[in-house]
Structure 1
Amino acid sequence: MITNASVGHLRPAVSPDHLLHRLRSSPSLSPKHFLQIQAQLFANPTLRSHHRLLPAFLSRFAPSHALSRTSLLLRHFPGCDPSSLWSHLVRSSAHSDPDARSVLLLYRAMAREGVLPDRATFVLLLRFCAAIPEAFDVARAVHCQSLILGLASDRILMTGLLILYSKCGCLRSAEQVFAGIPERDVIACNAMIAALSCHGRVEDARRLFEQMPTRSSASWNSMITCYCKLNDLDSAREIFDRNPIKDVVSWNAMIDGYCKMGQLARARELFDRLGLAKNSVTWNTMISGYLHRREFGTAVSMFRSMQMENVRPTEVTMASLLSACAHLGALNMGRWIHAYIRNHQLKMDVVLGNALIDMYFKCGSVETALEAFRGMPTRNIFCWNSVIAGLGMNGYGDRAVAVFHEIEKMERIKPDGVTFVGLLSACSHSGLVTQGKKYFSQMLDLYGVEPKIEHYGCMVDLLGRAGFLEEVLHLLETMPVRPNAIVWGSLLRACHIHKDSEVSEKVTQRLMELDPNDGANYVFLSNIYASSNRWDDVERCRSMMLRSGVRKVPGCSSIEVNNMIHEFLVGDESHPQYEEIYAFMVGIEKELRKLGYRPSTDCVHHDIEDEEKESAVMYHSEKIAIAFGIMSTREKEPIRVVKNLRICSDCHGAAKLIAKLFDRVIIVRDRNRFHHFKNGTCSCNDYW
């Protein structure tokens, strides 16, 4: 350490402004240069008294040296107050490095030196330390030191302290701090209301709220938000209606509360009443509300209205819309949103990037999804998981395995349970039995991921599809957790593939016991009876559905044409062009019969004549959507259809021939996976 005595003969060779410029402009300073500047500061009081030079030196010195050396330096600075130096160092560190832990380390070093911070440093510490696990210890230390310095009546400091206690889960300490504030202003009361609300003490929060002589907009908003979080919308609305100073935060809180409770009509009523005062949060809330209710088309329409009112979308808006496009299979809209993100330079963080990847995969655009993934500036495990799941869903099991091997080579990213669900599903969809068994056996021992019920469901599906029913039964007997609907459902699909009606009936009845309100189970059992011509049992099963109030989910297929989503049901006649579509379908079937097509009526489970069965399969929703797509798009343009149920064997066979007949790529996303039809073949290799 250079002391004042050892450098007393030195004189400043340069001006303060020159040294300041050197500190600020040099990206890095060598230890030698640090010592030279330090010597100048020790030698000359004029330099030390410069209001910007000494702070600049400390800001550069501390990150480059160990805390012990920094402490030694501050202890021996001649003619300077250690408290002032340390306080400045903590504050400058907070401004230059937003990491709360680095600020906390400096504060602890300061405490070891026996130096008390000033008031401004206390306030800064409270703000920074609210985000770290050690916050409670910091709160107690700050509390004790503030009492020593006589700051117990400082409203700003005490308000920050009670907020920190509340975030640490120590409501009692927060209440004690609040009680000790001699003149509580509206800010302190708002902080206490928020603290009580967060800990479920809503009645106490309401009592304090009613006692306040004056209330700010934050006071009203805290109570509205509190009741909304408790799903007590009547109380929230009562406060909202009383609020004389409603701001957009109040409106947004009520709209969000109604959306989360599924009361979209009431949310929309407030949304429309707000008029032009709506901000991006208001629009995002309504769009998310429609998405959660699976009203994807309405969510997209909301975005178009948002643009017409010149409200700038945020990254949250874009992520929500990409989710809607993913569910609808609306690739053109998704591409437009991607272009909007690029053109308006929105931040491509992992949330937005993951939504983009998911959208492209769920629209069947695999290569574009991979381009988006590779182009992301940062990627976390969620992004990698989306790629593995997306490749598997589209039938690229080998590529999904290759991506998993990429993760294995990384140090900072480790596979988790979701990774293995995607990987095992990818193996199942592509028939990679050996690989799937290997990864399942290695999950715990090699990767430290304990298999859960969903992983066992994947293995049942993998082995069952491949026909290893004995292994499936052994797995069910030995698995450490009780099989649930996921596992039994996987076994049921295996029985269906291998036409084991006896086991199918037992498994379906087991599923009905687990979830009596799932209409799919009744339908499946009815279909099993119908395939064996047990028509009396079919009627009995349907009567059970009626008595239980369970309804069969109708098949529905959608297609995007000219940026509009068109939806079709089985035998749908509601579309304005249905007569033209049906005439076109009749012509298609004639051409398909020339190619050897014969309707497969195995999926028709009604006691009717064969001719009626052929007519029934002709107008399945996916066939209507495919026909409309071919009619309405340019030659060679891919057809993309989204179906809510599994594609049936007849539609699967017909789609292969339609793709060949019209020289089109037809992509159908059903409930389980993608089918890419091209030149008379399907990417699933008839393994679905």
Structure 2
Amino acid sequence: MTKRSLYQWNTLLKSLSRDKQWEQVLCHFTQMFRDEEKPDSFTLPVALKACVELREVKYGEMIHGFVKKDAMVGSDLYVGSALIDMYAKCGRMTEALRVFDELEKPDIVTWSSMVSGFDKNGLPFEAVEFLRRMVMSSDVSPDRVTLITLVSACTKLSNSRLGKCVHGFVMRKGFEKDLSLLNSLLNCYAKSRAFKEAVNLFKMMEEKDVISWSTVIACYVQNGAANEALRVFNEMMGNGIEPNVATMLSVIQACAAAHDLEQGRKAHELVIRKGLETEVKVSTALVDMYMKCFSPEEAYAVFSRMQKKDVVSWVALISGFTLNGMAQRSTEEFSKMLLGELYSRCGSLGNASKVFNEITLKDTVVWTSLITGYGIHGKGTKALEIFNNMVKSSKVEPNEVTFLSILSACSHSGLIQEGLRIFNLMVSDYGLVPNLEHYTVLVDLLGRVGELDTAIDVIRRMPYSPTPQILGTLLGACRIHQNGEMAETVAKKLFELESNHAGYYMLMSNMYGVKGEWDNVEKLRVSVKNRGIKKGLAESVIEIKRKVHRFVADDDLHPEKVLVYGLLKQMGLHMRKDFESDSVYAEA
């Protein structure tokens, strides 16, 4: 094989870097040394960038050692900046500072890298001091990037006085029209409680984007000026600026503070139009707003539609009912939280059933929680029984979340025909519109019974772009039923969406292997290798007394394996007893 020239090595490494094949970059960089080709000031920054992306600080230190031995390379600012960037992004600011101090004449890039490094490593005071050193002892003047980093440090220090000094410097340097810099200053004033300065800056800004408007709206809300926040929001909408999640959170909080139910409903309508109601924070803010505007039923309607609920969501609901003088309802909701979060998800289904039976007012959330609990633990038949009882014997109707829970329970328990019937029931009898998660479960159900053509037709007809999750589900079904032609079509789309997902390559490789298509197996293997894809090792992790312990299947290497396996055996016996008692209770 002809020996590569330095130019060819640099071209290869640059190409691998552009494709973000960082492991391959370091692999070929090592090979370069073996071929006795000395890297230059173009090679080294590429290798150091790979060290940053892979957090291979030890490898970076080896490169640094090589740099120190070569005076010409060591004095190169391009290489010096790459070393500083590597150490800073790996949290090694002492080493970064040492590299910086060894540079004969640092440029703006190296100065900025140091300021940014201190700021991003939680050292805002050091970032400010370093910039002061830059201004006092060098001919280099801070650029907009350095100043944005400095403002970020001021924000973390909650130092509006320092922010004002930076603001003055910005004006003198002619950056008064730089939107990103002005937004950073606006955020600094807002978070440093410099309310007046934030409002004045906002009014002076000739150009404003959604970040500018959202920041000042949040500033008004935080300073008790809810009505003014809503006025600014209406002005923003009048100017044709589309709100984002941050904007809507502040607006909903303003409606809650102002007890403005009408404006709150309008905000809710906008949230739905923009598809933001599925965001847990937004839905929780809406629950809180409706409660504080004394409309608990509207709050509960939002809460019942939430597919994911966290502790904050439950607290907003429970405290909201208390605020509205509904202590009994508050207690019932607390019981529901126990049902869904403490029993069903922890496996104590007997206790979950007991709490369920003690709740007098069983609404959609209560029924869905119990169905979800049985579904999670593989008791699809019992989940189906509860769902049928809900439909036939109660006045409560299932919603989208209920149907997702029962469909998932059917899928996990192999109740295919029942699942297909329930999907049709959801659409035909209840008139509910399936979302992407419903379609994913439907594709899984169809795939399990070999209805692959129907499954792919569902994906083509659904009003959503197919996600890796739904395509991955279909690919798994193709492997089970050995439909190679469809698998290749699906895999091609998957590789476009998630080119570095090892699982999809393994599925296709297994399919080719079963069919004896070893050329295709080899092509996939080469593709995986070239892309630097590695299959992650599945492991369990637990932290005890600040020490992390890792376990893998059939682990035979852990120093306390005898004690661990003994304890697992005892726990297994206890769990079997609990499971049997739960089953007896559930059947009773």
TM-score by length of structure 2 reads 0.49
Larger radius of gyration: 1
Where is the helix percentage greater, Structure 1 or Structure 2?
Answer: 2
TM-score by length of structure 1 reads 0.43
